[in-house]
Chains A and B, each alone.
Chain A
Amino acid sequence: MALLCLGLVVLFTLLAIYGEVVYRYHDFKDITPAYQKTNLDLKFMAPSFTHWMGTDGLGRDVMMRLIQGVTIAYKVGIITSLIAIPIGVFFGCLAGFYGGKVDDFVVWLYSTFASMPGLLFILAIAMVVGKGLLGIYLGIGLTTWVGICRLVRGEVIKHKSQTYVQAAQALGLSSGRIIFKHILPNISHVIIVTFTLRFPAAVGTEVFLSFLGIGVQDQPSWGLMINSARMRLWQGMWWEMTFVTLAVFLLVLAFNLLGDALRDALDPRLND
């Protein structure tokens, strides 16, 4: 099962890289890529051998747009993680290790963030930096570090009381070195697992935001595709909606199951 998920994740990753290369190539040559070409004669074609997943309302190939959508989803998943995880890990380590006033401050900070409805916060950020991917990156990144911070803080508190940390203190190692060189490798499995679990959550949020119209504007995001497909669903144009939701479902499922498998494999307590 874990191998199957890993296979799916690898497949999605390859598609994402392929999508990015195609996008860059057309951007560089300044030509309209195939997935953006509209051809009204071909609109609403059901799946066939030429268009495996059919075409949308402007005659664009659904499969091509779906693959481009993977790229957007990956960018969102990875960039928001790059924003959220360092913040969460940094504050979590400080709070867990030093305790006292530092801990009080960090707990106050993340409680404040956690008490704000995430969507409102993202909307506010999108208002400031404008619609588009940047707003999504910042909005999701700056709201989702709270969970990681909490987890890391707890783990650090647990490790702080272990003798090897005291031994390191007795040997004259500085606090920074103890936190980042000694404790951090011991809690890395928590961070990796968190990454695999929050990745699909971020993708889900992006889909949702694009659906609401405050996300991606001119790129074929899955959210936009679902938004445009829903109008035609009752007319029997089932293919766009089906394949996009299927892709979202598979991506989320694969990452979640992979996260579970990784947690089992990486947790030293389960291995010994």
Chain B
Amino acid sequence: MNSLLTVENLNVIYGKGKDSVHAVKDVSFHIKAGEIFGLVGESGCGKSSLGKTIIRINTPSSGSIDFKGVDVASLSGKALKTYRQEVQMVFQDPYGSLNPRMKVGHAIIDVLNVHKIGAGKEERRERVVELFESVGLDPEWAWRYPHEFSGGQRQRICIARALSLNPDLLVADEPVSALDVSVQAEILQLLEELRIKRNLAFLFVSHDLAVVRNVCDRVAVMFNGEIVEMGDVEAVIDNPKHDYTRKLLSAVPTF
């Protein structure tokens, strides 16, 4: 079994007592190396909570997250920092996820500094150039501020920043839903390219079934914090078993 990430019986509960919210209920799934695993559901179904728990911005209440044979559910300090080199995240909002007061190249160098990647300033600058090229951006643009870029370009920068640590798994939380369709297609193509070139695995969180259908290998449908259906993407979308999946599919306007 060559699974990269195995999640078992994961629970995430926010708050305590009467006000607590059970955001993720007893979720289990696995992601193989180089696989794009889709996670679909509507707002409030717990898909973003699950994504954030896997990169450990959130701490799970119970259950295990096994990454390359290490249980990362309870990591902290140094070990957590190492884990974060291997699992990265791209967010939905390409406008908010870059610091507006920092040149984009410096944002990447900052990350390299923290994780002590590359020796010296020159090497780190070279690394920025490589990263920019790998996401299809002109390296000259690295020394500009975020507001000088379009939404699609910013999302490329966010991807470059996430790649700076050479991760094996990228959690992409609605990476294209804020973008125009033509830009969306370009970014999806970039993700596919990265998967092939770097054998990168994705947890692709999305509400858009059509996008998931087009980029994912397997998909899990979440409803009220639980995974109600999981399987190969063709099987789930062409032949849904669960009522909720059917309802979701029939709601999508098609042409």
Stretch at the interface among B15-23, B83-91, B197-205, B214-222: B83-91
B147 touches A (CB below 8 Å):
yes
Are A172 and B84 interface neighbours, CB within 8 A? Answer: yes
Binary A-proximity of B97-116 (CB < 8 A = 1, otherwise 0): 11111100000001100110
B252 touches A (CB below 8 Å):
no
Q: How far is the CA of A143 from the CA of B97 in the complex (A)?
A: 37
B55 touches A (CB below 8 Å):
yes
Q: How far is the CA of A166 from the CA of B93 in the complex (A)?
A: 11
Are A167 and B158 interface neighbours, CB within 8 A? Answer: yes
Residue of A163, A166, A171, A181 near B84 (CB, 8 A) is A171
Are B114 and A173 interface neighbours, CB within 8 A? Answer: yes
B236 to chain A minimum Cβ distance, whole angstroms, is 28
Are A172 and B97 interface neighbours, CB within 8 A? Answer: no
Across the two chains, which residue of chain B brings its CB closest to A170?
A: B89
Residue of A163, A168, A182, A272 near B147 (CB, 8 A) is A272
Residue of B89, B97, B111 near A173 (CB, 8 A) is B111
A213 touches B (CB below 8 Å):
no
**Which A residues are CB-close (under 8 A) to B57?**
166, 169-170
**B111-157 CB contacts (< 8 Å) to partner A:** 111, 114-115, 147
A108 touches B (CB below 8 Å):
no
Are B114 and A177 interface neighbours, CB within 8 A? Answer: yes
A199 to chain B minimum Cβ distance, whole angstroms, is 24
Are B88 and A171 interface neighbours, CB within 8 A? Answer: yes
Are A186 and B55 interface neighbours, CB within 8 A? Answer: no
A164 touches B (CB below 8 Å):
yes
Given contacts A166-B91, A170-B57, A171-B88, contact A186 B114 (CB under 8 A): no
Q: How large is the interface on B (under 10, 10 to 19, 20 to 34, 35 or more residues)?
A: 20 to 34
Are B101 and A186 interface neighbours, CB within 8 A? Answer: yes
Interface centre among A164, A171, A173, A181 (most CB of B within 10 A): A171
Q: How large is the interface on A (under 10, 10 to 19, 20 to 34, 35 or more residues)?
A: 20 to 34
Are A167 and B114 interface neighbours, CB within 8 A? Answer: no
Q: How far is the CA of A133 from the CA of B161 in the complex (A)?
A: 51
Are A163 and B114 interface neighbours, CB within 8 A? Answer: no
Q: How far is the CA of A181 from the CA of B98 in the complex (A)?
A: 13
Are A170 and B110 interface neighbours, CB within 8 A? Answer: no
Across the two chains, which residue of chain B brings its CB closest to A184?
A: B101
**Which A residues are CB-close (under 8 A) to B68?**
none
**Which A residues are CB-close (under 8 A) to B110?**
173, 177, 181
**B147-201 CB contacts (< 8 Å) to partner A:** 147, 158, 161-162, 165
B246 touches A (CB below 8 Å):
no
Given contacts A170-B55, A181-B110, contact A163 B81 (CB under 8 A): no
Across the two chains, which residue of chain A brings its CB closest to B108?
A: A171
Q: How far is the CA of A167 from the CA of B52 in the complex (A)?
A: 11
Total A-B residue pairs with C-beta atoms closer than 8 Å? 62
Are A172 and B99 interface neighbours, CB within 8 A? Answer: no
**Which B residues are CB-close (under 8 A) to A170?**
55, 57, 84, 88-89
A residues near B (Cβ < 8 Å) are 162-164, 166-174, 177, 181-182, 185-186, 188, 268, 272
**Which B residues are CB-close (under 8 A) to A167?**
89, 91, 97-98, 158, 161
B residues near A (Cβ < 8 Å) are 52, 55, 57, 80-81, 84-85, 88-89, 91-93, 96-102, 110-111, 114-115, 147, 158, 161-162, 165
**Which B residues are CB-close (under 8 A) to A173?**
110-111, 114
**Which B residues are CB-close (under 8 A) to A166?**
52, 57, 91, 97
Are A186 and B161 interface neighbours, CB within 8 A? Answer: no
**Which B residues are CB-close (under 8 A) to A162?**
96
Are A185 and B102 interface neighbours, CB within 8 A? Answer: yes
Are A164 and B111 interface neighbours, CB within 8 A? Answer: no
Q: How far is the CA of A173 from the CA of B111 in the complex (A)?
A: 7
Are A171 and B97 interface neighbours, CB within 8 A? Answer: no
Q: How far is the CA of A168 from the CA of B97 in the complex (A)?
A: 9
Are B102 and A163 interface neighbours, CB within 8 A? Answer: no
Q: How far is the CA of A173 from the CA of B55 in the complex (A)?
A: 13
- A172-B81, A172-B165 provided; 7 other pairs, C-beta below 8 A? A163-B93, A164-B98, A167-B89, A170-B89, A171-B88, A171-B114, A173-B114
Q: How far is the CA of A163 from the CA of B89 in the complex (A)?
A: 11
**Which B residues are CB-close (under 8 A) to A182?**
99, 102
B32 to chain A minimum Cβ distance, whole angstroms, is 22
Are A163 and B91 interface neighbours, CB within 8 A? Answer: yes
**Which A residues are CB-close (under 8 A) to B158?**
167
B83 to chain A minimum Cβ distance, whole angstroms, is 8
